[in-house]
Structure 1
């Protein structure tokens, strides 16, 4: 490289060095930029196949009354979802039948539905994320009504809950199994405390409650065993479970309702459907995993009618279990969702499809970029050999001093151009080899001039 021209003002020297280095920068950008564009193009195409993120707002149906098992459970779900950054809208409902309608009309995204309600095709287009707790049927008969079994309810007044409730569906199913059709009873829409008061007042002869935990109405009747009898299904539990597969026999042990009051005075076997969390079949997959984690936190502990770890469960399903839920219950959560916060895991899993073009394009292109860069840098030096070869041919053909002076001037101009060529130090050997060759040709021309 030529010595620095000390006559050049200091303020201009950095600018000169920048101009010399700029071609190197351009070459680098051209080499690696092409690779980056190809990879970016592949990622852009793959991004079209990336699943959209989960919706920011989720709508969940509740249940009849703030103290119902459904409303209490949904409140826990909503709290957990808000902790993950979701907005949650709670939609009031009269019970399981209404919840199912809201789901089918897409007015809610998730809802708890009593087992057996979604049978007979009513759950088409829906999937289950798992059952969460048993809801026993508490069937009370008025002792002075002369009723000992459900078949005796024919022609009697029976409180079976309001329209839209799962209680009504289950009560009618139990009566139908005993050859007592809906039109063979005088149905009352009363439920809860109102139904209990009506039974004790003699206004109804039987009352059916479906509840995971004893409410006020059930408590009132349990404390009046001389006037209300809780039906024990033990002797016929197997038959009921066969006729109504959604039902599971559960046991209320002696004193299980109240130990100080010794209520009930003996073990009682009841029949219980299992409530399940349902969603549309196209529910976002990441929401499935998130909800199962929430269900585990809310329902894995010991329950009144289930041991610890019984729920949430893939059992007792009226509608198909979501495939991701089935895998979760079988194998547990994915690796990412086990170790990463929900939204981080979701983002990584959504963008996982981008790894394919990144690997298939990126790795080979990374291998090609350095040779392309090397070829471009070497070409910046080697292309001047064409000029040197032409000058050498002109020198061999020169016959007079003027022609040789012209050749020497071209060599000097070429040497000056090469000296200012911006080349990284790693390619300096090529640059110096070219300048040696230029000097060799210049010496040959001067020899001819002296000759």
Structure 2
């Protein structure tokens, strides 16, 4: 008995809970939808930052500065505020990236270290940076080892040129104190050689104009050809690859250089922090493709940007972009409009997922709840009818009539939409039928009929 009573209590409680839930299904549905929208908003990525800090070179004619300016111009055209941060080169760029003082920077191959620069990622390689080794008149052409004790322009502290120059010298068993390292590069290095204050210059640049063109056109200044040693350099320094400057590559009219020249070159990569916004990553890779896809003297069209030979891990969003291209929304809509629509979709997806079942089953539940408000009175009416059949005394039947009147009053006060009022009228007809069974004197007539039936039998 106690177990059956417990089950009955639990059943009643569940019925009441379900009835309450259905009765308030509109409020529950709205609350659920708001909760789903809040969940979607929490899961949606925050909007991209409005400002991007980009590292640029200090020399206006450097490949880094020109690439950074091309990126900045396109970012500004998209609606970003771009803050340019002048730097000395790759080493300083990495320092600023690790410190969180810039958001985007170009980094020369072979400079980054995965352990030291953990938290930074690559968006792809964008161009070769050939190594140009120029010697002054009278300098021995016996490789870099012949420059021992000479004055060599290797670039300022913090530059990738300086770091690579020392790496090349180390491969030739030269220590930094075996040479007089001059902290100049670019135009300043060319001027030092022309003035005789530098015996050699090591330049790392993808630009043929400026210092490279100046030194290649001056009599007595020689450009080293790495043809016989390129494979050895690649084996010692795996981040280097061999590129070739064709005959007449600088000037067809002057046939300069007069023969093909083999050079070794790292690749420059665009580096960002690992938490860079995914949509900013997609935008940057698209910009990189616009800027670096055309053919150059050292690469065919479409070679850059690419994901090859990266010192740092590739950004996952950048890899997806290389594999699949931009999203449909970003292909057809302005960037900030696409960002807004994509975030709204993330927010609305859980809402739609809940709303569709509500739209489908909501009317059914509403109908059930409206009809239940009428049907629950039938249980009371059934009990009154059953007791009327078993009660013969006037006092008991009078009490049943009072209960019936109270039931009819409650039914009359039911507030239902017009569509469901027919159920109220049907219940009131059934109440009238039971009232007729309880009419005074009816039970005597029924009893006399039953007695006559028994006597006849």
The TM-score range, normalised by the shorter chain, is 0.7 to 0.9
- Quick check: 1:171 aligned with 2:165? yes
Q: Distance in 1 between matches of 2:115 and 2:436?
A: 99
Q: Distance in 1 between matches of 2:402 and 2:140?
A: 131
- Offset at 1:113? 0.8
Aligned pair partner of 1:272 in 265, 268, 293: 265
Aligned pair partner of 2:295 in 275, 293, 302: 302
- Quick check: 1:318 aligned with 2:311? yes
Segments of structure 1 that go 5 or more residues without pairing to the other structure are 1-25
- Quick check: 1:285 aligned with 2:284? no
Q: Distance in 2 between matches of 1:448 and 1:425?
A: 38
Query: Structure 2 length normalisation: TM-score?
Result: 0.80
Q: Distance in 2 between matches of 1:35 and 1:194?
A: 72
Of residues 244-253 and 366-375 in structure 1, the stretch that sits farther from structure 2 once superposed is 366-375
**Are the structure 2 counterparts of residues 334 and 236 from structure 1 closer, same or farther at C-alpha, using a change threshold of 3 Å?**
same
Match of 1:258 in 2: 251
- Name the SS of the counterpart of 1:144 in structure 2: coil
- Root mean square deviation, CA, Å: 3.6
- Offset at 1:430? 1.8
- Quick check: 1:53 aligned with 2:71? no
Aligned pair partner of 1:242 in 235, 244, 255: 235
Q: Would the aligned equivalents of 1:128 and 1:277 in 2 still touch at CA under 8 Å?
A: yes
**Are the structure 2 counterparts of residues 35 and 448 from structure 1 closer, same or farther at C-alpha, using a change threshold of 3 Å?**
farther
**Are the structure 2 counterparts of residues 447 and 126 from structure 1 closer, same or farther at C-alpha, using a change threshold of 3 Å?**
same
Match of 1:31 in 2: 25
Superposed CA offset, 1:295-339 (max 9, x none): 111111112321110111101211111122223323434455445
**Are the structure 2 counterparts of residues 60 and 414 from structure 1 closer, same or farther at C-alpha, using a change threshold of 3 Å?**
same
Q: Would the aligned equivalents of 1:289 and 1:324 in 2 still touch at CA under 8 Å?
A: yes
Match of 1:117 in 2: 111
- Quick check: 1:134 aligned with 2:128? yes
**Are the structure 2 counterparts of residues 125 and 391 from structure 1 closer, same or farther at C-alpha, using a change threshold of 3 Å?**
closer
Q: Distance in 2 between matches of 1:159 and 1:29?
A: 84
Match of 1:8 in 2: none
- Quick check: 1:104 aligned with 2:123? no
- Name the SS of the counterpart of 1:190 in structure 2: coil
Matches within 5 A, 1:428-439: 428-439=421-432
Q: Distance in 1 between matches of 2:435 and 2:117?
A: 93
Match of 2:69 in 1: 75
Q: Distance in 2 between matches of 1:448 and 1:63?
A: 112
Superposed CA offset, 1:355-378 (max 9, x none): 775477555555553343122211
**Are the structure 2 counterparts of residues 320 and 130 from structure 1 closer, same or farther at C-alpha, using a change threshold of 3 Å?**
same
- Quick check: 1:378 aligned with 2:378? no
Q: Distance in 2 between matches of 1:189 and 1:27?
A: 78
Match of 1:202 in 2: 196
- Name the SS of the counterpart of 1:232 in structure 2: coil
Aligned pair partner of 2:151 in 157, 167, 171: 157
Superposed CA offset, 1:159-199 (max 9, x none): 11111111111222222222222111111122222221221
- Name the SS of the counterpart of 1:318 in structure 2: coil
Of residues 144-153 and 197-206 in structure 1, the stretch that sits farther from structure 2 once superposed is 144-153
- Offset at 1:353? 6.2
- Offset at 1:28? 8.9
Of residues 366-375 and 351-360 in structure 1, the stretch that sits farther from structure 2 once superposed is 351-360
Q: Distance in 2 between matches of 1:251 and 1:73?
A: 22
Match of 1:88 in 2: 82
Segments of structure 2 that go 5 or more residues without pairing to the other structure are 1-19, 446-457
- Name the SS of the counterpart of 1:143 in structure 2: coil
- Quick check: 1:41 aligned with 2:29? no
Superposed CA offset, 1:216-273 (max 9, x none): 222211211x211111112211111121111121111111112222211111111111
Query: Structure 1 length normalisation: TM-score?
Result: 0.81
Superposed CA offset, 1:281-303 (max 9, x none): 22223322221111111111112
Q: Distance in 1 between matches of 2:375 and 2:180?
A: 103
- Name the SS of the counterpart of 2:24 in structure 1: helix
- Offset at 1:342? 3.5
- Offset at 1:56? 2.5
Q: Distance in 2 between matches of 1:121 and 1:388?
A: 82
Q: Would the aligned equivalents of 1:130 and 1:312 in 2 still touch at CA under 8 Å?
A: yes
**Are the structure 2 counterparts of residues 317 and 415 from structure 1 closer, same or farther at C-alpha, using a change threshold of 3 Å?**
same
**Are the structure 2 counterparts of residues 119 and 442 from structure 1 closer, same or farther at C-alpha, using a change threshold of 3 Å?**
closer
